Chain A
Amino acid sequence: MEQKSRIVSPVVWQLLSFVLFFGLWEVAGRWPISFAFPPFSKTFMALVRMIADGSLPKAYLSTLQPLVIGIFLCSIAGIGFGIGMGLSRTIEWFSLPIFIVLQAAPMAAIIPLLTYMYGIGLTSKVLAVVVLAAPVIVMNSYKGIRNTNPSLIQMCRAFLGTRRQEVIKIILPHAAALIFAGLRLGLAMGFIGIVIAELLITPTGIGDLITYHSSVADYPEMFAAIASIIMLAALTIHALERLERRLFPPEIRET
């Protein structure tokens, strides 16, 4: 698993891959095919400009608000619900089919309905995040609980553990890694949800920047806005993945 023995550190390869990608982008952007596709250099300059004049930070302030609220709601209600489904056959019986359908359904299709029901305000956007993020968070928590090693549960019973101790000392620690992974996947879905909401419901935040700059044909600015949200999502998810590996190294999950 350790990559220390490699001659060139993987960081160098990763950097090279980025350089190559941006280089190709630059070349492709300079190719006189479409005026609407700016080269990397112009996009990058636009990004710097938008950070400097404060429009990008301001946009993120409004974009991140429904995202954070939505993920926060999911992580409390979703994890709670998933754990409930894992522990109780009754809750599982009536809610598992719903979540299986929800996980497979293209939830973005529901967003116009949300607008119809809850208007164009913060509520709709939070809900857009929730409908996308909740299924994966719930299902991961549920699977984490259900996949507990039966031998550990027998061990707990053999040593006179109560059901409560079984849940607290065996099942929850065992499920923690999968639950955390669910949160990470949920956040990735939440990013999708918020961007769709801002493009589909009302243009605010980063969605507003994308829509506005495309309508006035400021293509470098539009690309910069798109690239920035991709970067933010990728970096956040990556950071969570690293945290996950630190908190729950694979070797302590299962012997």
Chain B
Amino acid sequence: MSADTIVQIKEVRKIYDGGVEALKDVSLGLPRGRLSTLLGPSGCGKTTLLKIIARLIPPSSGEVWVQGKKVNGPGPERAFVFQDFALLPWANVLRNVAFGLELRGTPKEQRFEVARKHIAEVGLSSFESSYPHKLSGGMRQRVGLARALAVDADIILMDEPFSSVDEQTRRKFQEELLELLRHKQKTVVFVTHSIEEAAYLSDQIVLLSPRPGTVSKIIHPNIERGARDPDEIRRDKNYLDVVDEIWQILKQYI
């Protein structure tokens, strides 16, 4: 792995009000231009860690460094994709996708132009003027992804983006995500509790142990993707080994 580290997490600890210790001494580097997954059972603090990287919540102690700078708040180099989509119900797809740029004060014509491009990329061109309530879960999440892509951040933080989407949509979306990211040189941090999803998507898998969350193992699945057929990857020996390896570790936490 030749990629340098874009996100450096140093001894991050999070104790919530009320004394629940969600994370304990998490130190971790995330490679630039790669997809890293935070994987673990529910309650292991993986979403907390992701939100600390985004600085939507502050750590109790420890630091996060992004591109060589210490993080003190949300920044333009990080974009977030929410588990519950977090779309404005009173705004159509176009405005929702352009919303990040709207907050930055980009002129209307310009931000709509950028938004249209990204709406097309996620395959929703004919839904530009639809409202979120008209869209399926999978489509809403595409809007959430397009919104994150539209602000052109180097790092995309995704919080269980497929958890409220059905299995077919999920698989299709995973494939499209890989395809999309292959051309974009984005760093992606992806939270999931699905072993298969982690093994299928990731260059690096960070396994977290539950309560308090600590890094229990980091796995680099050496699955050759290239332009291979997704079903072929799912039959790949490396892929199956990785799935099994993760399962052997996670099994202890149940």
- What sequence of 0s and 1s flags, for each residue 216-233 of chain A, a beta carbon within 8 Å of any chain B beta carbon? 000000000000000000
Taking CB atoms, residues of chain A closer than 8 Å to B100 are 159-160
CA distance A170 to B95 in the complex (A): 13
Inter-chain contact B131/A154, CB cutoff 8 Å: no
Given A252-B90, A254-B89, A255-B85, A158:B79 Cβ within 8 A: yes
Taking CB atoms, residues of chain B closer than 8 Å to A53 are none
Given A155-B82, A159-B151, A252-B90, A165:B103 Cβ within 8 A: yes
Inter-chain contact A151/B90, CB cutoff 8 Å: no
Interface size on A, residues (CB 8 A): 21
**Minimum distance in angstroms from B251 CB to a CB of chain A:** 32
- What sequence of 0s and 1s flags, for each residue 62-85 of chain B, a beta carbon within 8 Å of any chain A beta carbon? 000000000000111011101011
User: Nearest CB to that of A173 among chain B residues?
Assistant: B90
Taking CB atoms, residues of chain B closer than 8 Å to A2 are none
- Report if A245 contacts B (CB, 8 A): no
- Report if A49 contacts B (CB, 8 A): no
Q: How large is the interface on B (under 10, 10 to 19, 20 to 34, 35 or more residues)?
A: 20 to 34
Contact of B82 among A154, A161, A162, A165 (CB under 8 A): A154
CA distance A169 to B51 in the complex (A): 22
CA distance A158 to B254 in the complex (A): 33
Chain A residues numbered 124-172 whose CB sits less than 8 Å from any CB in chain B: 149, 151-152, 154-162, 165, 169-170
CA distance A170 to B99 in the complex (A): 11
Inter-chain contact B85/A160, CB cutoff 8 Å: no
Taking CB atoms, residues of chain B closer than 8 Å to A161 are 103
Taking CB atoms, residues of chain B closer than 8 Å to A254 are 89
Given A154-B56, A252-B131, A159:B88 Cβ within 8 A: no
Inter-chain contact B86/A155, CB cutoff 8 Å: yes
Inter-chain contact A155/B133, CB cutoff 8 Å: no
- Report if B140 contacts A (CB, 8 A): yes
Taking CB atoms, residues of chain A closer than 8 Å to B102 are 169
CA distance A158 to B132 in the complex (A): 20
- Report if A253 contacts B (CB, 8 A): yes
Given A251-B131, A251-B133, A159:B103 Cβ within 8 A: yes
CA distance A255 to B134 in the complex (A): 9
Taking CB atoms, residues of chain B closer than 8 Å to A253 are 89-90
Inter-chain contact A255/B132, CB cutoff 8 Å: yes
**Minimum distance in angstroms from A161 CB to a CB of chain B:** 4
**Minimum distance in angstroms from B188 CB to a CB of chain A:** 15
Inter-chain contact B103/A160, CB cutoff 8 Å: yes
CA distance A162 to B54 in the complex (A): 16
- Report if B104 contacts A (CB, 8 A): yes
Taking CB atoms, residues of chain A closer than 8 Å to B51 are 154
- Report if B145 contacts A (CB, 8 A): no
Inter-chain contact A158/B54, CB cutoff 8 Å: yes
- Report if B52 contacts A (CB, 8 A): no
Taking CB atoms, residues of chain B closer than 8 Å to A173 are 88, 90
User: Nearest CB to that of A254 among chain B residues?
Assistant: B89
Contact of B104 among A160, A169, A252 (CB under 8 A): A160
Inter-chain contact A156/B132, CB cutoff 8 Å: no
- Report if B87 contacts A (CB, 8 A): yes
Taking CB atoms, residues of chain B closer than 8 Å to A170 are 88
**Minimum distance in angstroms from A173 CB to a CB of chain B:** 6
- What sequence of 0s and 1s flags, for each residue 170-187 of chain B, a beta carbon within 8 Å of any chain A beta carbon? 000000000000000000
CA distance A162 to B103 in the complex (A): 8
Name the residue among A151, A158, A170 with the largest chain B CB count within 10 angstroms. A158
CA distance A151 to B54 in the complex (A): 14
Inter-chain contact B132/A155, CB cutoff 8 Å: no
User: Nearest CB to that of A161 among chain B residues?
Assistant: B103
Query: What are 21 of the A-B contact pairs (CB < 8 Å)?
Result: A151-B82, A151-B84, A151-B86, A154-B51, A154-B82, A157-B74, A158-B74, A159-B80, A159-B99, A159-B104, A159-B147, A159-B151, A160-B103, A161-B103, A165-B103, A173-B88, A252-B131, A252-B133, A253-B89, A255-B85, A255-B89
A154-B82, A158-B54 given; 8 more Cβ-contact pairs under 8 Å: A151-B84, A158-B78, A159-B79, A160-B75, A161-B103, A169-B102, A252-B89, A253-B89
